[in-house]
Amino acid sequence: AQSVAQPEDQVNVAEGNPLTVKCTYSVSGNPYLFWYVQYPNRGLQFLLKYITGDNLVKGSYGFEAEFNKSQTSFHLKKPSALVSDSALYFCAVRAFSGGYQKVTFGIGTKLQVIP
Amino acid sequence: EAGVVQSPRYKIIEKKQPVAFWCNPISGHNTLYWYRQNLGQGPELLIRYENEEAVDDSQLPKDRFSAERLKGVDSTLKIQPAELGDSAVYLCASKERGGGETQYFGPGTRLLVL
């Protein structure tokens, strides 16, 4: 069965510092990988995705993520954190499982950017 | 362009009562998803539609949950009867065919079963 792990419940970072939110996955076959952000009382918003090609993908709001096949990871990064980046971040993987295209989300990581 | 619309935004019911959630996807999006998000968890897929066809309902608890998308546009998710454990946020998402795999989410319906 496919799975997504976000090992940190919360990440705290000072404003202006680089941030990393970790994600590892387990699938059979080739994964499609996604990051979504969820602000309070709002729906999930798409940030970026990896389908194929360049391992470093750039997304919305200055975020980027690097696909690492050998480590089965897809960590989210940003060079300089903003207070407005404080939110809940979800990693997701899509792959074939049991004959279906399955989408599995991680449990989320709360990012707190400290002014 | 309007996003995914869901109603109601909040619903409080007593256990054993029925409840229904409505979703209108982004215009032109063929694929529609219903997810359940429990507190402190990521979304879990309940059902996926391609147009009016439910192509993946393997994780839908069919004894009490049902869904329909009769004309391949808007969709309704129903729970009958509701149980305490059904309290969660129910999210609807849509995706256009060939749209690069990106799902667009609605704001969700927060259900509280008392």
Q: What is the pLDDT of residues A46-94, one digit of tens each?
A: 999 998 888 999 998 999 999 999 999 999 999 999 999 999 999 999 8
Residues of B with Cβ-Cβ distance to A106 under 8 angstroms:
42
Percent residues over pLDDT 90 in chain B: 80
CB-based contact B41 A51, cutoff 8 Å? no
Please give the pLDDT value at position B100.
62
CB-based contact A43 B43, cutoff 8 Å? no
Average pLDDT (B5-32) is 95
Please give the pLDDT value at position A18.
97
A21 to chain B, any CB pair closer than 8 A? The answer is no
Of B33, B42, B106, the CB nearest to A90: B42
| Token pair of B32 as six digits | 């529609």
Average pLDDT (B71-100) is 91
| Token pair of A34 as six digits | 């996604």
Task: Answer for the pair B42, A23: CB distance below 8 angstroms, yes or no.
Answer: no
Average pLDDT (B85-95) is 95
Task: Answer for the pair A44, B105: CB distance below 8 angstroms, yes or no.
Answer: yes
Task: Answer for the pair A76, A16: CB distance below 8 angstroms, yes or no.
Answer: no
Cβ-based burial of B21 (10 A; exposed 0-12, middle 13-18, buried ≥19):
buried
B83 to chain A, any CB pair closer than 8 A? The answer is no
Average pLDDT (B94-111) is 85
Please give the pLDDT value at position B99.
58
Of B101, B103, B104, the CB nearest to A51: B101
B4 to chain A, any CB pair closer than 8 A? The answer is yes
Please give the pLDDT value at position B98.
67
